[in-house]
Each structure stands twice: as structure tokens, then as C-alpha cells.
Structure 1
Amino acid sequence: MKNKSAVGLLVAVLITVVGCKTQKGKLEFVQPDSGKRIAYGEQVKLTLNFPNAAVDSVVYSIDGNVFETKRDTGSVVFDTKSYGLGDRSLSAKVYAAGKEDIAYSNVMVLPPNAQNFGFEVVNTFPHDDQSFTQGLQYQNGVMYESSGRYEKSQLKKVDLQTGKALQSVALDNKYFAEGMTIVDDKIVLLTWMENVAFIYNKENLKQVGSFGYGSSKEGWGLTYDGERMIKSDGTNRLYFLNAKTGAEESSIAVYDENGAVDQLNELEYIDGKVYANVYQQEVIVIIDPKTGAVEGRINLVGMYNENRKPVDNELNGIAYDHQAKRLFVTGKLWSKLFEIKLVAR
């Protein structure tokens, strides 16, 4: 028994020694740990374990882009504000004695905790319970709304007080209407999977143009910030479109303190922020369109329970009265539209 114990102890020591030698001879990131969550704005130190102290150069890259080259084994620092939110791939290529080696790591850069809000219902208005609401916007006393579904899609002007359509236009049966927004004297309406948006005259709802999508193949939500249109496609990205041509010019990924916020749907631009429904959740997130950070989260659970079906009844529709500072919300096939006030939690 004693001999067996001694042999076992010797084997354990040998494994430990060999393991230490193996690790010592490996080029790898010591700091930060792979997959570590980093706060946006943090200065992150990159430290490597070098097999040899003598190096010719070390080339550090983030997402494949070189950001610093050193000729020693000292640490380097990168500013997360320069690279934005989300997964950041780190690499370090080492040149020494005519050879090269490379180490990899990654971090997740996330924003601070979002402010949580509840709600208070200020007013309740009738809403067409046959309207499969996809886009909603209020302007100069009129509610503009797009309603989806194949063979039933339409764009309409609605009287807020009665919920009745003042004017409407039907889409061809092969199109599924999605989000819409007003750009000057035009209305721009997305379609779901048909890869096309239609442009209408705001006064008479006659179609005056169209454009195709770019890399975002589906149409979900749409809003206008006064310079660009902002589009969602059901992912965690917002796309910025040229207001005149509809061409995609850039995009940004949206994250909260937990990670990517997927299924962004109907959008509204309010005081510099993008308010977005999250599909199949009773939640609206408030996004900084410059960084993609979710700064606020509105929990609307329990606001509408009247004769709700198990499917096709999602919260979807955000409109804002910029003059009177009123916030409106509704949903698909809801019989009511609500004016609400946010309550900080």
C-alpha cells in the first residue's frame, strides 16, 4: 500500500511538472479571460504568456484590425469605447527568431444596467380589433397605421377618438405590410419578406415609389430621426437608411446588460432615442442609436388582457405626439389603444 501511494504521488508530481512546462511553453492570453464580460467604456489590459522573453514584435488586433504593435512583452490597453458593444475578438501575433505564433481570446462588451420602467394608463381609445398592427405614427391630429397579413394588408389614416379609418389603401395580396414611418410629405411602408418598401403620398395615400432592401432581407419596424430612416429586421441590429433613396448606409447592434437584444420590431424615434417593441414580449426597450446600448426597459405586462388570443396578439405599435408629449401603444388585433406615462422603478 505504501509503495502504491508513493508511486501515485510520484505520478501526480510528474503530471504537475509536465503540465507547468506545457503551459509555460504556450503563447496565450493571461488577461482578460476568454469570454469575460466587460463594461462599455472600460480600459482593458491585454497580457500574454510568452514562451520566450525575447521577441522581435507583437501585433495586437481587435476584430482583425491591428490597433497596436510592440517590440517587447509588456501589456497593452484598448479602450472599449473605440470598438463598441458586443463580442470583440482579440488576437496577438508574435514574431521571434524568424518564426511567428498567434494567440486568440474574446470578450463581450456590454452597457450598464438599463433603467426599468412600469406604466400608468392616462387615456384609453378604441382600436380596430381587426387591425394586425405593424406600424403606428401620430402626426397633426391623425394616427397613421399599417396593418399586416397576406391578402389583408393595408395602410390607413385613423381617427384617434373613434378608432375608425379616415382613409385607407390596400396592398396587393402577395405583400405583408410591416412597419411604416412618415418622411416629410411621404409615408414609407415596409413589407415583411418581399424585400421591398413602398412610398406613398401622405395626403392621398397614392403610391409614388419603392425601393429594395440591402443586407437586411426582412422588413419589421421603421422610424425617422429627421435625417435618416431607422429599420429593424427581427435581429438585434438597427439599420440606417438614406431618407431619399432607402439605401442602407450603416447599422448598429443592440445590447443590454445581459447581451444581444434580438427580435427588435416596431420602432418610434422619441427625443433622440429609439423605442422598440421586442417581438413576443410585453416590453419596449429604449435604445441609444449612437451606441446600440439599451438605456431603458418598459414593462407593459398586464396592460391589455381583454379577449386576447394565445397567438397573434402581441404588443406592437408605438406612436408619439411630439407636441403634447403623449406616448401611445397598442397591439395586433387589440380593441384598445392606450396613452401611457412611464413610471420609474
Structure 2
Amino acid sequence: MKKHNLLIPILLGITLIGCGDTKKSENSLFTIDDSAFPAHFTSPESVSIGVLNPKSKEIDSIVYFVNDKKVGSRKGSEKFKFELKDQKLGYQFLKATIYFGSDSSDATKRIELVSNVTPKLLKYKIVNTYPHDTASFTEGLEFYNDTLYESTGQKGTSYFRKYDYKTGKVYKQIDLDSMYFGEGITFINGKLYQLTWEEKTGFIYDAKTLKLEKKFTYEKDIEGWGMTNDGTYIYQTDKTEKIWKMDPKTQKMIDYVNVYSGNSKVKAINELEWINGKIYTNVWQKDAIAVVNPNTGAVEGILNMSGLRKFLKVTPDDVLNGIAYNPKTKTIFVTGKNWDKMFEITISE
């Protein structure tokens, strides 16, 4: 694997993960032979799965599984080679069901598939600076029909509003019930979707009138953090390394990716924005934005935003959060929780 720039773990605040598991086999007759396994696998590689047979049982056949899906079988004790190129990043669970005589037994092993992409270090240029309401605990930021919308958190003061970002003038504000802690928002199919933090409740509003049309309960037992969409599906975060893919028509989770920078998980990814086929995401409590491939979860770029703090009157607890792409100007707007300013920027390598 390529050597990654040392700034990457510093910016993302990630912890290097050690080799694949080491979950023990469920029996003492057979184990999966990991003697030739590397510390991590990368997506172009393959894994050769074989079993150790310390009690010299006469093996009739072996059926091999990856993540509980049958991937092949072999007569006798022959190894099986499995290509990892189409697998998600993250842990892969290997299982071999060994048949011998009239019996069978399972051997299992966990390996970790990591990214082989070296993230590019990006830079930004401030185009404009605008006022930002210091009472806004920013959770979501998005343009819709050339107007900026922002959602905020904290129970009792959560809302979303549409406003003139140049002056701060509020056109309309919808307050949440005090039982809810507001989170990310996104517009798709003429609707505004909004998440809540721990209440496992989402809201769907008419995008024109902002009238509430539906409440929905999360299908998974997860927290609600950030949201964005690609025009067809919604993507959302839950404080882990996962980005979930949701069908907006049914609110059902249909897939997910695990976000990795090199061989490290990137946890606590937060606010999301879809920009030119990539997902830009804040990393909770870090002055950094990661550019993520939505198909693989691989971090392809890192943007160090720490330089913005010299223009702000904020504390270290007032963290970066809020990314909005303006398709009209082709610029990106960024702000943070309780920040006194919002910045319009362009990005380059």
C-alpha cells in the first residue's frame, strides 16, 4: 500500500486499526489458515481461503462463504481464491463449512478491507465572507432554488430556516417541538427531509410551502446526523464511519458504505453535501472536510479548514459544521456551530 501523508490522520482524527481479527473459530477441529494474510487487504487483491486440519480428519468437501454469502465450494481440502475488488470497505467475514464423514463443522475468520486510494491534499480560497447567526447550532446547510436553508440543533431551540445569506434576513423559519434535537436536511423530489438526533424520527415537508407532510421512524437503530442526496437517493450519517443510502419514497435503508482514509476508518462523519458526484463531509470536532467516493467509501481528498479560525470570534467548542454547494455560482459555503461568519470558497488541489 502507498504511504499516506502524515497530515491525513491528524486532520481526520482517526485511529489506525490493527490486522483482521481475530475472532476464534467456533470449533477446535478446523481453523481458517491466516498464516499468509497481510495486516489489511485492499480492494484489487484477492484472499486465498483454506483451512487447517490439526486432527487430520478426512475432508470430503468445503463450502466457502464471505459475509454469509456462498462464494464457492471445493472437493477435499482445496483452497478457494476470492476476489475482493467488488466488496465494500470494512470487515469481511469468512466462513468455511467443512464436511467430513457424516459431520460438518464451521471455521470462521474476520479480515479488514481498506482503501488503496491516497487522498489528495486540497486547498481553498475565500471568495466572500458573510454574517452568520451566532445562536445557530448548525446541523445542515443546503441551497434550494438559489436560496440558502439551514437547520440547527439543541432541544428547545431547533429549527430550520430559509434566509438571505448576504444580509442574514430570515424569510421563513420552522421551529421543531422541544422534544426534538434537529439535525441534517436535504431537498429531493419537491420535498424537504429533516433528521433528528436521538429521537429516531424524520420529517418530510413540502419544499415550496414548508408545510409538514409526514413523520417517519428510522428503519435502523441509528442516530440521525447529516444528509444529502444525488437526485435519486438520500445519503445520511449516524456518528459512525457509515454513510447510509436511503430510498426517499419509502424511507428504507437500501445500502451503506464504510468511510476509510487509507487503512483507517473515519468515524464521526457528520454534515454531508453532494458536489459533482462526490460526498463532501465534515468530520465531527475536526477542522477538516473529507471528499468521499459514494460508491466505495474511500476518502479521495482532504481539505484542512483550520485557517478559517483566525477570522472568527469563536471557542474551540464551536466546531466546523455546514457545507452547501451553490450550483449557480459553483462555489461552496461553509460555516460552523455558533460561528459569527460563513465563508464562500473555491477548492483546488
TM-score when normalising by structure 1: 0.85
Q: Which amino acid aligns with 1:75?
A: K
CA distances 1:63-113 after superposition (whole Å, capped 9, x unpaired): 233211111333321111233211112232333344445433322101122
CA spacing shift, 1:266–1:41, aligned 2, 3 Å: same
Give the Cα–Cα distance (whole angstroms) in 2 for the partners of residues 29 and 196 of structure 1.
43
Aligned match of 1:69: 73
CA distances 1:159-187 after superposition (whole Å, capped 9, x unpaired): 12112322212112221111001123321
* Match of residue 157, structure 1, among 140, 152, 162: 162
Identity across matched positions, percent? 34
Give the Cα–Cα distance (whole angstroms) in 1 for the partners of residues 50 and 254 of structure 2.
36
3-state SS, counterpart of residue 82 of structure 1: coil
3-state SS, counterpart of residue 309 of structure 2: coil
CA RMSD of aligned residues (A): 2.3
- Which structure would you say has the larger Rg? 1
- Are 1:119 and 2:108 counterparts? no
Aligned match of 2:277: 272
Aligned match of 2:5: none
- Are 1:106 and 2:110 counterparts? yes
Give the Cα–Cα distance (whole angstroms) in 2 for the partners of residues 68 and 115 of structure 1.
38
Q: Which amino acid aligns with 1:90?
A: L
Q: Which amino acid aligns with 2:279?
A: V
* Match of residue 315, structure 2, among 290, 296, 309: 309
Contact 2:46–2:83 under 8 Å retained in 1: yes
CA spacing shift, 1:32–1:161, aligned 2, 3 Å: farther
Give the Cα–Cα distance (whole angstroms) in 2 for the partners of residues 249 and 77 of structure 1.
28
1:26 Cα shift?
7.2
Contact 1:219–1:233 under 8 Å retained in 2: yes
CA spacing shift, 1:92–1:242, aligned 2, 3 Å: closer
Give the Cα–Cα distance (whole angstroms) in 1 for the partners of residues 166 and 236 of structure 2.
29
Could you say which structure has the greater relative contact order, defined with CA pairs below 8 angstroms and 6 or more residues apart?
Answer: 2
1:120 Cα shift?
2.3
- Are 1:37 and 2:18 counterparts? no
CA spacing shift, 1:47–1:302, aligned 2, 3 Å: same
Give the Cα–Cα distance (whole angstroms) in 1 for the partners of residues 76 and 289 of structure 2.
49
3-state SS, counterpart of residue 85 of structure 2: helix
- Map of 1:40-59 to 2, 5 A cutoff? 40-51=43-54, 52=56, 54-59=58-63
* Match of residue 337, structure 2, among 326, 329, 332: 332
- Are 1:258 and 2:267 counterparts? no
Aligned match of 1:246: 251
- Map of 1:180-329 to 2, 5 A cutoff? 180-305=185-310, 306-311=312-317, 313-329=318-334
Count of residues in Structure 1 that have an aligned counterpart in Structure 2? 319
* Match of residue 89, structure 2, among 81, 85, 88: 85
Larger helix proportion of the pair: 1
Bigger mean CA offset, 29-38 vs 70-79: 29-38
Structure 1: give runs of 5+ residues left out of the alignment: 1-24
Give the Cα–Cα distance (whole angstroms) in 1 for the partners of residues 35 and 302 of structure 2.
30
CA distances 1:230-264 after superposition (whole Å, capped 9, x unpaired): 11111122222222342333333222213322112
CA spacing shift, 1:55–1:323, aligned 2, 3 Å: same
Aligned match of 1:13: none
Bigger mean CA offset, 320-329 vs 203-212: 203-212
Bigger mean CA offset, 250-259 vs 44-53: 44-53
Aligned match of 1:5: none
